[in-house]
Amino acid sequence: MSEMKLAFVSAPGEDACEARKALIERYGQAPANEAEVIVALGGDGHMLETLRAAIGSGRPIYGMNRGTVGFLMNDYQPDDLPARIRRAQPVTLYPLRMRAVGRDGTVTEGLAINEVSLFRASAQAAKISIKVDGVMRLEELVCDGVLVATPAGSTAYNLSAHGPIIPLGADILALTPISAFRPRRWRGALLPRSARIEFATIRPEKRPVNAVADVMEVRDVVAVEVWEDRQVSLTALYDPEHNLEERVLKEQFAP
């Protein structure tokens, strides 16, 4: 058994479950509340789920790819795992906090490590106004949706929506439209991490909108406020030769 107390968690896929079983046999399994490090086995979705589950615990997460994309994961190598973890470089992540108000007046809060997104929920395009720090910046965005992404999440859905890739050390957030129709040439904005973004839906009874914080969805919203919550921090561990900051940089030169 390893001298380092490790807790292994896996996605439900066969590869991830088999890896968890083999690693537990090799290194042992500590209770999650006693582990020094949580080792997540799966893909990016499982890594995000594990990070969310670790909020408030102070325990770092070391992910190994047993999923599909694995952008947020280290390579899967079962040998010398405690030594790899000791050499790993920590990355501190600050999530976005979403406060969504439904048409029925219900207020729902959630945290997002990657992005907070608003999506049209009918055949009608969404109409959304945008304030930044209390100042109206866009009175009417006609679109399929709009999102706010963290630097860590800038290479995820934000990139697919043609948003900018943000280096981890940059103190900015990406505000990115999804299939904007009007203003046709608006491509979004880069905002300071201190910004508070307020979205309000226009004619929500005719043009319903849903809000999503990573995977938590709130249906039929009329207002959504988003800001980076510096009171909450998460730690992910990465191999020095394949760290997350280098991956984000490489994505900016990908063919």
Residues serving a catalytic function are 44
3-state secondary structure of 9: strand
Dig out the tokens for 135 from the structure: 């100042």
Strands 96-102 and 107-112: antiparallel
Nearest CA among 106, 93, 79, 70 for reference residue 19: 79
CA 167 to chain centre: 15
Q: Say which amino acid occupies 114.
A: N
What's the rounded Cα separation, in Å, for the pair 39 and 55?
15
The residue whose two tokens read 């997540």 is 40
What's the rounded Cα separation, in Å, for the pair 102 and 165?
31
